[in-house]
Amino acid sequence: MPANHSAPCYNANTEGSDTPLLIRVRVETWRMIAYVFFWTFVVVAKMVTKARVVDILAAGVDDSVPLEQRGCGPFDREGGPFNLTYGEGFDYKTENHLIEFFGFGNICTNWDYTPAREITAMVFPLFEYSMMIYLALNAINEKLAHNRGEISDSFYRSTQIFNPIIAFLCTMFRMIFVFIAYENPKMHTAGFLCLQLGLVFIAIQNAAFVIMTGQTYPKIGLTNRKQVALAAKIYLILLFIASFLKIQGTIYIVKNGLGSKFYKTKVFGGKLLMGKLIDYFWMPLNALVPLGIAWARACHEDPLTIQISIPTPDYDGECCEKEGEPAETSSLIPKKK
């Protein structure tokens, strides 16, 4: 701005300029949102797989493709348990790669193949980012509870250690899209292992927090602290059993690239494999029950109030310029007291 022009008046004390922005959020609502988005990308994967993937895999490689290129992608199988040849199509439900490697298919088969993998990867951030928001808000909630004396010092210190670990484990779940299941089953499964560990840590922290703070949930009939504590302990016991069996089997796959003999053990007269049976217990305890718990807690918890404001300096209020001084700076000289 030329020096001979008058500087514009800036009145920092305009009425309402120092009014802070208040944002109220419920911590458990964001946990609930995260689980909803988890099931959202699962549903999307199932839909795309049913609409496109099944037919693509069944058709196999087109006859016009040169012989040396037929064993590319998911069609790179010769012999094996299904006696396939390079480029030959296969049945998605009974002959997919996870059945070959582990003995049974799991939820991951829904996004193992193109184009389900790519489309699901675009939806997946909704779950990941929601989970990160929840973890950040939950850490703040734990800090406030500690300040009020509701949780012990030792428990709060443990949350400070495990919260970054949990965040890291949950973000590493994205490895399921980076490492293709039929090319690198070890690293692909490692991403799922990270999520399994992260969800267990979250469950432990939440249950301990609920018990220590003596929460009750009248809307679902839990009006007594002892009732809530007992329900939390029962849930943790069931979760530990299912997660121990699931995690030890997953670790074996990460190390060896194949399912363990225990996972491939037939139960119920050979109608079901042990690994699949464990899945039936693990999935509800880790992805459905927590959704219900988050809903119940969100209905009863007080929201966090986040205040965002900009400090307002005390300006002189006069728009005069000092001789030889640029107008831009002379109009923003704080008033000396």
CA dihedral 93, 97, 103, 108 (to 10 degrees): -70
Looking at residue 309, what is its pLDDT? 86
Looking at residue 69, what is its pLDDT? 80
pLDDT digits (tens, 9 = 90+) for 54-87: 999 999 998 888 877 888 889 999 998 999 999 9
Looking at residue 236, what is its pLDDT? 94
- Asked whether the predicted pLDDT for residue 273 surpasses 70, the reply is yes
**83 conformational bin, left if phi > 0, alpha if psi -120 to 50, beta if neither:** left
The model carries a pTM of 0.82
Of all residues in the chain, what percent carry a pLDDT higher than 90? 73
- Asked whether the predicted pLDDT for residue 92 surpasses 50, the reply is yes
- Asked whether the predicted pLDDT for residue 4 surpasses 70, the reply is no
| Over residues 291-297, mean pLDDT | 93
Which of 64-68, 298-302, 309-313, 316-320 shows the highest mean pLDDT?
298-302
Angle between helices 116-147 and 153-171 (to 10 degrees): 170
CB 102 within 8 A of CB 258: yes
CA distance 16 to 171: 41
Looking at residue 10, what is its pLDDT? 46
Looking at residue 125, what is its pLDDT? 96
Looking at residue 311, what is its pLDDT? 75
| Over residues 238-242, mean pLDDT | 95
